[in-house]
Amino acid sequence: MYIDVTAAEPRVPLDCWACAVLVTAQNLLVAAFNLLLLALVLGTILLPAVTMLGFGFLCHSQFLRSQAPPCTAHLRDPGFTALLVTGFLLLVPLLVLALASYRRLCLRLRLADCLVPYSRALYRRRRNPQPRPARSSPGPQVAPTSGKVWV
């Protein structure tokens, strides 16, 4: 929401500075919450693909060649290659799904409405703003007619 400058008055410099600090702090908190929410959604939805890629890179003989028990007990190089290919194939669709769910969650929580514009720090609303004169429309005035209207 932007403040109508004609219905607002400038703040005192010290008051302006204090409000600017508060507006900045609130906007930083909202941004931090957005990043936390993004990390949570991406981490949850991308977990299968990241796990496949992690085991594929960790256990394949061309990369790290780990001798950990999960690597030597279950699969050999062709199995780890299949894990790498499947992980890369799942990565893009899961990323699209994660970003779409993050956007929907942000819209549902209305996080963009929590951001405060900087004009709030510069201007203060007047207690009793002067009413503005009504504008006259350039066209002819049409009187409302009585009767039923089907819509």
What digits encode the pLDDT tens for the residues 115-138? 877 766 666 666 665 555 566 556
pLDDT confidence of residue 125? 63
- Using a pLDDT cut of 70, give the percent of the chain over it: 65
Structure tokens at 116: 């405060």
- List CB contacts of 135: < 8 A, sequence separation 6 or more: none
Q: Which amino acid is it at 63?
A: F
pTM of the predicted protein model? 0.63
Centroid of chain to Cα 6:
32
Query: Given a cut of 80, is residue 13 above it in pLDDT?
Result: no
Query: Given a cut of 70, is residue 32 above it in pLDDT?
Result: yes
Inter-residue contact 52 to 86 (CB < 8 Å)? yes
Tens of pLDDT, residue by residue over 70-108, are 777 777 888 888 989 999 999 999 999 999 999 999 999
Structure tokens at 65: 């060649």
Structure tokens at 6: 């004609």
3-state secondary structure the chain: CCCCHHHEEECCHHHHHHHHHHHHHHHHHHHHHHHHHHHHHHHHHCHHHHHHHHHHHHHCCCCCCCCCHHHHHHCCHHHHHHHHHHHHHHHHHHHHHHHHHHHHHHHHHCHHHHCCCCHHHHEEECCCCCCCCCCCCCCCCCCCCCCCCCC
- Residue 44: which pLDDT band, with cuts at 50, 70 and 90? very high
Q: Which amino acid is it at 2?
A: Y
